[in-house]
Amino acid sequence: MAELSRIGISLEEDLLGRFDQLIASRGYENRSEAFRDLIRESLLSEVIDSNKPVVGTLTLVYDHHLPNLSQKLTEMQHHAGTMVLAATHVHLDHHYCLEVIIMKGRSKEIREIADRMLAIRGVELGKLVLTNSGAALKSGR
């Protein structure tokens, strides 16, 4: 673990009270870990908005009875080439399939691919989560 620095923060009592309630409801055991996570999140959003490579996890739920839908999604993944690291398919029930597609690349390109997949008729739910290894947060790379 990296060397720790101690800092003091001044906050309005009311704000601190609300923060303590929030972190307790999320299961944090102390403020330090909650602050660290908030800082990491802010730094990560900077990385994501930059041109640096990130990892995207796209979750899709779609009706596989619609003609050509599965093939269309597969074709788009082949078209994205090496950006797609892995894809997992789960048959949810008689109608619906869940697919999780893990991609690596620039956030703009990952968002474009995700938006195109989400816009296809028959894709009923979906969400893209962008993240990275955290290495870029530590060293500023």
Which chain residues interact with Ni ion by CB under 5 A? 91, 97
Minimum distance between the CB of residue 64 and Ni ion, rounded to whole angstroms? 5
Minimum distance between the CB of residue 70 and Ni ion, rounded to whole angstroms? 7
For 63, phi and psi rounded to 5 degrees? -90, 110
Closest residue to Ni ion, Cβ-based?
Answer: 97
Indicate the residue among 34 and 97 with the shorter CB distance to Ni ion: 97
Indicate the residue among 79 and 91 with the shorter CB distance to Ni ion: 91
Distances (CA, A) of 10 to 15, 20, 36, 61, 134: 10, 14, 16, 45, 28
Tokens for 6, please give them.
Answer: 């101690």
- Residue 27's region, left for phi above 0, alpha for psi from -120 to 50, else beta, is left
Indicate the residue among 91 and 108 with the shorter CB distance to Ni ion: 91
Indicate the residue among 60 and 130 with the shorter CB distance to Ni ion: 60
Q: In angstroms, rounded to a whole number, what is the distance separating the alpha carbons of residues 65 and 67? A: 6
Minimum distance between the CB of residue 60 and Ni ion, rounded to whole angstroms? 11
Minimum distance between the CB of residue 97 and Ni ion, rounded to whole angstroms? 3
| C-beta of residue 113 within 8 angstroms of C-beta of residue 126 | no
Minimum distance between the CB of residue 136 and Ni ion, rounded to whole angstroms? 35
Indicate the residue among 50 and 74 with the shorter CB distance to Ni ion: 74
| C-beta of residue 2 within 8 angstroms of C-beta of residue 138 | yes
